[in-house]
Amino acid sequence: MSRETTTDLYEVTMALSYLREGMTQPATFDLFVRDLPPERGFLVAAGVEHVVDYLTDYRLGSEHIQDFASVLHRPPEDLEPLLGITFDGDVRAVPEGRVVLGGEPVLEVTAPLPVAQLVESYVLNQVSHQTALASKAARCVLAAEGHPVVDFSLRRTHGIEAADHAARAGAIAGFSATSNVAAAVELGLPAVGTMAHSYIEAFGPEEAAFRAFADAHPGPVTLLVDTYQTEQGVRTAAQLLRSLGNATGSAIRLDSGNLEEEARLARRILDAHGLPEVRIVVSGGLDEYAIDALVRAGAPVDIYAVGTRVGVSADAPYLDTAYKLVAYDTRPVMKLSTGKVTAPGPKQVFRRNGCEDVVALAEEAAPARSSPLLRPVVREGARIGPAPDLQHIRDRCVADIAALPGEARRITDPTPLHSSTSPRLRALTDRVRRHIRATYLPRTSP
């Protein structure tokens, strides 16, 4: 499937109608999350770089026109007005890794109306999915309180692209490694892994499996110890690691049962064998809530491997994200639907210390002691400057989260942060609302 045809059908039909009517003046769309999901005090912006790559490469060729024509059951010549369209607009966005709040623009697209409409679905998809994953991953890092967290989510994410997004989102949030080899190579991340229970079962005796694995992989190894019975598995692993003569960097992994109790038992056995340097890795349905419970209980866990629940952001698997027209041909517009009212006009988000955000009109001066969040990333269809490296994005994320109030960082029952609105934006909103009601809504008779 091509990225250009990865769009909702109504984007194509609207674009055709706009072209037919000559409605090709610049349009501005805001992308924002209406409200934070439950148990979220903040979000972490992600997916922007994928959007920039998509938009700067966007071009509708004859093969795309054929596809559109086939699903619309119309001759290709009817779709020819779309042929050769490229994205030649501007984009401002919150840099990836920055904390964002509900109701404030994460990304703003300004382009000829048909073009800005055609790219909506892909842009929404990328930012919504990756922001949800990065926000979940950031909470895992907070819960771990300095212990390494690694990504084990590949096998159960909702597709291969989703797995790559999960690995990248984890890296943005501060994960130390991923089991996803392709993502590790692509993103320059450390790749980690141990062994499966099937490996042990194939050999039969744990000692034979552990020894064969150590023979095949000289150096530090991580041994899975709970295939049969955890206590015996740890003892067998300890004996083998002791016999190797240098267990530095090696670990055992626990994947089932009461992980707090199992970790305490494993630590006692390892220490009794003179192996205080052997680390304990835990996995098996972990997310920030489970990590938080283990850390608060003082469980002797060194590394947390998170998979399914984090790779699909299980407790908040979607964001209520919207991409709404806010201006067309310099005219501010807004939506009045109940529960889905939008604010008109191009905007800027100004941030003060402590994530005290003000959503204002784009042309407003920055309030005292604040800085703008939305930065130009595409101008006239071309990327502005080089793409930031992943470490820079991660550093940005770490700094933003460290600056958050403690109540927003809480794992359980966080207090969500909210932005305020500038007086000028409130005034414009009221003026546009009155205009719509007076001009477009029929007067009702008494």
pLDDT at 56: 98
User: Residue ranges per domain, the chain?
Assistant: 9-130+320-439, 194-282
**Hey, how many other C-beta atoms are within 10 angstroms of the C-beta on 423?**
10
Q: Label residue 336 left, alpha or beta by phi (over 0 means left) and psi (-120 to 50 means alpha).
A: alpha
Residue 163 to residue 174: CA distance in whole angstroms? 17
pLDDT at 218: 85
Per cent of the chain over pLDDT 70 is: 99
- Residue 445 pLDDT more than 70? no
Asked if 241 and 250 count as a contact pair (C-beta separation under 8 A), the reply is yes
Question: How confident is the model over 208-257, as pLDDT tens digits?
Answer: 999 999 999 988 999 999 999 999 999 999 999 999 887 899 999 999 99
CA-to-CA separations, 315 to 25, 37, 251, in angstroms, rounded:
42, 9, 30
Asked if 172 and 397 count as a contact pair (C-beta separation under 8 A), the reply is yes
Residues 6+ away with beta carbon under 8 Å from 194: 222, 223, 224, 253, 281
- pLDDT range class, residue 339, cuts 50, 70, 90: confident
Hunting for tokens 């904390």 — which residue is that?
99
Q: Which CATH superfamily is domain 194-282 in?
A: Aldolase class I (3.20.20.70)
Question: How confident is the model over 357-387, as pLDDT tens digits?
Answer: 999 999 999 999 999 999 999 999 999 999 9
- Rounded to the nearest integer, the mean pLDDT of the chain is 96
Asked if 387 and 54 count as a contact pair (C-beta separation under 8 A), the reply is no
pLDDT at 247: 87
Q: Which CATH superfamily is domain 9-130+320-439 in?
A: nicotinate phosphoribosyltransferase (3.20.140.10)
For residues 341-352, give the mean pLDDT: 96
Asked if 293 and 257 count as a contact pair (C-beta separation under 8 A), the reply is no
Per cent of the chain over pLDDT 90 is: 95
Nearest to 15 by CA among 123, 119, 117, 120: 117
- Residue 444 pLDDT more than 70? no
Question: How confident is the model over 250-282, as pLDDT tens digits?
Answer: 999 999 999 999 999 999 999 999 999 999 999
CA distance between the termini of the chain: 56
Asked if 297 and 143 count as a contact pair (C-beta separation under 8 A), the reply is no
- pLDDT range class, residue 351, cuts 50, 70, 90: very high
